[in-house]
């Protein structure tokens, strides 16, 4: 567990929380659940809120934050654990490493929880412990305890923008992910299945002592937005959509998508659609700046996709009007992106509290309902920009959509693009005082660059 921890940055975070919250807070790290039998555990992933202030992924621990101070609660390793894991750091060792003010066994926590706020942990074991010791249910959004709500809003305020420690970690994750994507592109022509491309990409991530930040998407079925199977054969004429991102040992994520041809050469129809998605990606990035509304960035991407599809003869009518009636969402149904940080969809365990500015609610429109972020952008935010084009049968063959948008689509023309099942281009973007820093800048995304890299 020995890591290079920036204790001073952690103390600054704890102090900032105290400035926003005038009550103590307790955050649990969580515990890994068993897989089929008690001694076989899934890999442990600490609660991101715990990680933000503690700095280390300590299993089955809790921290109390008050007046800028941090008290650690955890039990020392059982003597028998040495047989399986070797010498483990003690409570005092870890307290020193993370700059804790005090360290106690977990049993001591029950006497120090008066008037504390908390955030629910996802794993059932820890959630039950939280409810038992606090003697209250832990809910999200409309039914929140007032103290918990204030803590969540304080955490959102802090975690929405990143300090130097966080950005250093995110950039490490991005650098490894960029290399993994390059490896995937280069090895595609010598691969037989999706699984082999995935294995090459994830193997590099593991070799850098990182893990995948989420279940990788590596598929020729690009119209399946969260595909997690890898058994399809690769054939000439197929496009591979790879959405793969690394996570550092301290929990910081990256999130990158590229789409490339198995053969090393885009067909004319694939290139036409790809260029539209790339134009939307580039325009959205160019318009990111402090104060810009992320919803407007999304709508800009939607208009560019609609305009491109009109120019190709797939959509019919005025692009602005098509977006207003959500016709573009037939082919671009999801939002333009999301916050990125300790979670790949950062803080989405808090529901729309994190993604939506106070007073805003999620739209019921077809073209806006999946927008994950609806806030003005701030310096220090990291967001993804990921427009796409998909031919999803469940959407295009839906009788309700077919009737509503029948006259907006040239269905015969669309058949000419049957070899384009799904294309997405995703970059990680840091909002700066002058505009943006494209963290994924070093990964090619122009057609010619990708074709050259594959060949």
User: What's the pLDDT at 81?
Assistant: 79
d(CA 288, CA 294): 8
Token pair of 275 as six digits: 């260029």
CA-based torsion, 318, 324, 327, 331: positive or negative = positive
DSSP string across 110-169: GGS-TT-B----SSHHHHHHHHHHHTS----GGG--HHHHHHHHHHHHHHTS--HHHHHH
Q: Which segments of the chain have a pLDDT < 70?
A: 1-3, 139-143
Structural domains for the chain: 7-159 (3.40.350.10), 164-454 (3.90.230.10)
Token pair of 110 as six digits: 């029950």
User: What's the pLDDT at 138?
Assistant: 74
Contacting residues for 214 by C-beta, under 8 A, at least 6 apart: 245, 253, 255, 344
Contacting residues for 23 by C-beta, under 8 A, at least 6 apart: 115, 116, 117, 147, 150, 151
Predicted TM-score of the model (pTM): 0.96
What is the layout of strands, in order, in the sheet containing 435-438?
A: 382-385, 427-432, 435-438
d(CA 55, CA 49): 10
**117, 17 contact by CB (below 8 A):** no
User: What's the pLDDT at 85?
Assistant: 80
Q: At what angle do helices 268-286 and 294-312 cross, to 10 degrees?
A: 150
H/E segment holding residue 40 = strand 37-41
Closest CA to 440 of 180, 82, 158: 180
**250, 55 contact by CB (below 8 A):** yes
d(CA 432, CA 285): 12
User: What's the pLDDT at 83?
Assistant: 76
Token pair of 290 as six digits: 């402090």
User: What's the pLDDT at 140?
Assistant: 55
- pLDDT of 136-173, one tens digit each? 877 655 567 889 999 999 999 999 999 999 999 999 99
């Amino acid at each position: 567990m020995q890591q290079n921890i920036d204790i001073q940055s952690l103390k600054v975070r704890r102090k900032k929380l105290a400035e926003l919250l005038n009550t103590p807070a307790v955050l649990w790290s969580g515990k890994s659940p068993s897989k089929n039998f008690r001694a076989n555990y899934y890999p442990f992933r600490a609660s991101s809120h715990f990680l933000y202030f503690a700095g280390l992924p300590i299993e089955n621990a809790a921290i109390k934050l008050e007046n800028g101070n941090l008290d650690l609660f955890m039990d020392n390793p059982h003597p028998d654990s040495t047989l399986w894991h070797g010498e483990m750091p003690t409570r005092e060792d870890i307290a020193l490493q993370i700059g804790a003010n005090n360290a106690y066994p977990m049993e001591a926590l029950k006497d120090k929880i008066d008037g504390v706020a908390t955030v629910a942990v996802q794993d059932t074991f820890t959630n039950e412990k939280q409810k038992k010791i606090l003697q209250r249910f832990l809910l999200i959004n409309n039914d929140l305890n007032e103290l918990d709500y204030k803590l969540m809003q304080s955490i959102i305020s802090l975690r929405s923008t990143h300090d130097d420690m966080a950005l250093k970690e995110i950039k490490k994750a991005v650098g490894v992910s960029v290399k993994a994507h390059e490896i995937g592109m280069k090895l595609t022509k010598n691969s037989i299945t999706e699984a082999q491309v995935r294995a090459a990409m994830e193997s590099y991530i593991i070799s850098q002592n990182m893990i995948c930040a989420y279940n990788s998407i590596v598929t020729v079925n690009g119209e399946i937005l969260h595909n997690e199977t890898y058994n399809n054969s690769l054939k000439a004429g197929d496009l591979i959509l790879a959405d793969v991102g690394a996570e550092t040992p301290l929990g910081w994520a990256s999130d990158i998508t590229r789409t490339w041809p198995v053969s090393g050469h885009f067909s004319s129809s694939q290139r036409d659609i790809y260029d539209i998605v790339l134009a939307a990606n580039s325009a959205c990035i160019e318009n990111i700046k402090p104060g810009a509304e992320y919803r407007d960035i999304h709508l800009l991407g939607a208009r560019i996709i609609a305009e491109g599809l009109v120019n190709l003869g797939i959509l019919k009518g005025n692009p602005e009007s098509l977006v207003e009636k959500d016709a573009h969402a037939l082919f671009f149904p999801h939002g333009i992106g999301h916050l990125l940080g300790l979670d790949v969809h950062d803080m989405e365990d808090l529901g729309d509290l994190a993604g939506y500015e106070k007073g805003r609610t999620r739209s019921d429109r077809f073209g806006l309902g999946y927008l994950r972020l609806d806030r003005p952008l701030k310096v220090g935010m990291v967001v993804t920009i990921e427009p796409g084009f998909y031919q999803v049968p469940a959407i295009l063959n839906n009788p309700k959509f077919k009737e509503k948008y029948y006259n907006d689509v040239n269905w015969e023309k669309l058949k000419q693009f049957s070899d384009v099942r799904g294309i997405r281009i995703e970059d990680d973007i840091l909002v700066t005082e002058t505009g943006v820093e494209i963290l994924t800048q070093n990964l090619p995304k122009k057609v010619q660059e990708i074709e050259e890299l594959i060949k």
